[in-house]
Amino acid sequence: MKFLTRAVYFLSAIATIVISFSLIIAIARDPYSRGNKMFHDRTMNFLQQTKSSSLSYESSTRVPHLKFGDSMLTPPLFNNVEGDNKSKPIKFFWGIMSTLSDKDKIQRSVIRQTYLSYYKNSDSPHRICSYNAYRANIAVREECEMIYAFVVGGDDTDDAPKDLVDEAPNRSPLTIEHPSVSVDGEEDDLVYLNIKENQFEGKMQSYFKWVHTLIADRTLSVDYIAKVDSDTILFPPQWFSFVESDLLPAPYNRRIYGGILLDRLECGGLRKWHCRQMVNLNYMSGQMYFMTPDLAAFIVSDGYGAEVRQRNQYFTEDLTIGNFVHSYPHGPIHQVVITEEYSLWEHGDTLKDPINFLRRWDEVKDSWNLEPLSDETVDTHTYGDIGTDDNIKEDYARFSEERWKLRALLDELYRDIFVIEHKGWSKLCGYVRKINLP
């Protein structure tokens, strides 16, 4: 018995020593993680010092010293300057991530009725417009500063790819038509990517690939490309004020990456393996981030390489995109760090509920001063209906009631297991990854 007790003590001591040395080595090799708060504290001090403006530009990567005659190749400039000196507004492409579920359909209707239609009854009714309206009418194209689309995975077949980034250019179309689009124009602001719906395995890369292709083909002319969650509620007056005062227009919009900054400590530090594998010291939160077209062109380019892209891809899409951006080798990345005090938008789980989304919108919209519509009547329907629904609360109440019926529960279980990227297995793998030791 004494022998067994001594053996247990001995093994425990050995294990303690091994774990201690492992922690020391991990901390030494990963000085910006939870094992060393220096970088996190420096980041927090930096954000505290910028409270007055709550926004800053900073270069996040170092440029290697170049000798005279060396070339620093960069992708071609894509901007909205077409040979004239006329000042034009900064334009965004606003990709709102969604799915084809019944709940997300209601959420899309809520978003259309709130911030997407904020300027509809103003002197600038097309300041925010759908991509289809942008394409269909030159007047909308000139006035629109935020071209939006709801982005979904449109191919639900078993062998559908989850991303199209590394395919040959002419192998598959990036988007597909979907039979659920009705002839009366309802939901005509959806873009159906030619991929299986997924959150972490390629949807965002495919989205940036699609927008980049539109810009390269000169079908679309924008200065920035944004990815937005459907539970993010934008405050349009603050947003456009920020864009006009703080963002660089073309042709100066180069290598810019912006959003709510997260560093390794906030990611998870030593506790999470993927946080220790970050390419840089931070990335932008997935609630809303944006980048310039040259960065989008790089992260979906053949030159980036499928092998490197796969190595930098993890089960967190915002960290993955951050890794791609910070791999850019041809110049410093200029980060636009936006703090929450800047109040450009709000984001959170409570806003996944359409009723809470509407309630929060009603609370904040009256605090803004919007110029009233002029005496001249503007017919916005001519340029495309955004598909509003006046019965949001009734629809959501019906959905909440029906989702608990036996048939709905069985259908959701089937979709979780067999349809939506084998979600049950993915969750299990996620839990296994979370317990990785340093």
Give the pLDDT score at 388: 43
Note whether residue 3 is domain-resident.
Answer: no
Asked if 340 and 431 sit in the same domain, the reply is no
Which amino acid, residue 15?
Answer: A
CA atoms within 13 A on the CB side of 19: 7
Note whether residue 57 is domain-resident.
Answer: no
Asked if 228 and 365 sit in the same domain, the reply is yes
- pTM listed for this prediction: 0.71
Give the pLDDT score at 86: 52
Note whether residue 6 is domain-resident.
Answer: no
Domain containing residue 181: CATH number? 3.90.550
pLDDT < 70: residue spans in the chain: 1-2, 21-87, 166-171, 179-185, 269-271, 305, 369-404, 407-438
Give the pLDDT score at 238: 94
Give the pLDDT score at 339: 84
Asked if 280 and 425 sit in the same domain, the reply is no
Asked if 387 and 409 sit in the same domain, the reply is no
Q: Which long-range contacts (CB under 8 A, 24 or more apart) does 167-174 make?
A: 174/206, 174/209, 174/210, 174/213
Note whether residue 44 is domain-resident.
Answer: no
Asked if 167 and 236 sit in the same domain, the reply is yes
Asked if 288 and 435 sit in the same domain, the reply is no
Asked if 250 and 385 sit in the same domain, the reply is yes
Note whether residue 64 is domain-resident.
Answer: no
Question: Which sign does the torsion angle of CA 135, 137, 132, 345 carry?
Answer: positive
Asked if 418 and 301 sit in the same domain, the reply is no
**Calpha distance 374→107 (Å, rounded):** 31
Inter-CA distances, 35 with 15, 18, 28, 41, 429, Å: 20, 17, 9, 12, 25
Asked if 232 and 106 sit in the same domain, the reply is yes
Asked if 425 and 335 sit in the same domain, the reply is no
Asked if 298 and 431 sit in the same domain, the reply is no
**pLDDT tens-digit map of 127-168:** 999 999 999 999 999 999 999 999 998 777 777 777 777 665
Domain of residue 436: give its range.
404-438
Number of domains in the chain: 2
Note whether residue 149 is domain-resident.
Answer: yes
Inter-CA distances, 235 with 51, 239, 360, Å: 19, 6, 11
Asked if 429 and 294 sit in the same domain, the reply is no
Decide if 272 contacts 33 (C-beta within 8 A). no
Q: Which residue has the tokens 């010291």?
A: 281
Note whether residue 267 is domain-resident.
Answer: yes
Give the pLDDT score at 266: 79
Give the pLDDT score at 415: 53
Helix (H) or strand (E) segment spanning residue 104: helix 102-113
